[in-house]
Copies of this chain bind each other. A is one copy, B any other.
């Protein structure tokens, strides 16, 4: 599959999360040979779990599937810039490439705030492709919060 198709899948997972009342963020983990290892949407509200961001769930699922805590050579597609929690998890998991859509000046941990991958305490930095399908990813979040304010 092409990279755009993986982000389309992440967007579908994000939309499904939003339909269930969680903030619409989705993530897809892809193996070194181009297979889907995990698809996840944010489940913080549904699961009563403050750590249940889409990236964390995708990493956990993929690591369990491969029976290793290090996802060497795997790529992560996520609709929103990861926060510091998820960025540190991405570093621990040794993700090869990180593709993300919308920027998050208020809560992001890659280009904003902690700038996790630039810290001396961060021992692995993925290749980063930001602004990937940015418009679709941003629009989905914007619609969600607009609807929330109107209801």
Contact = CB atoms under 8 A, between A and B. Distances in A.
Contacts of A69: 44-45, 48-50
B89 A51 contact: yes
A66 B70 CA distance: 32
Interface string A47-87: 11111000010011001101111110000000000011111
A112 interface: yes
A107 B101 CA distance: 28
Interface in A128-144: none
User: Chain A binding site: helix, strand, loop or mixed by DSSP?
Assistant: loop
Contact of A50 (B45, B70, B121): B70
The 4 closest A-B pairs by CB, nearest first: A113-B121, A85-B88, A114-B114, A50-B92
Interface of A: 44-45, 47-51, 56, 59-60, 63-64, 66-71, 83-89, 92-93, 106-109, 112-116, 119-123
Given A45-B69, A50-B59, A107-B121, 9 more contacts: A48-B63, A49-B63, A51-B89, A51-B92, A84-B84, A84-B109, A84-B122, A108-B121, A114-B121
19 contacts: A45-B69, A47-B64, A48-B67, A49-B60, A49-B63, A49-B64, A51-B92, A84-B88, A84-B114, A84-B116, A84-B122, A85-B92, A108-B121, A109-B121, A113-B120, A113-B121, A114-B114, A114-B115, A114-B121
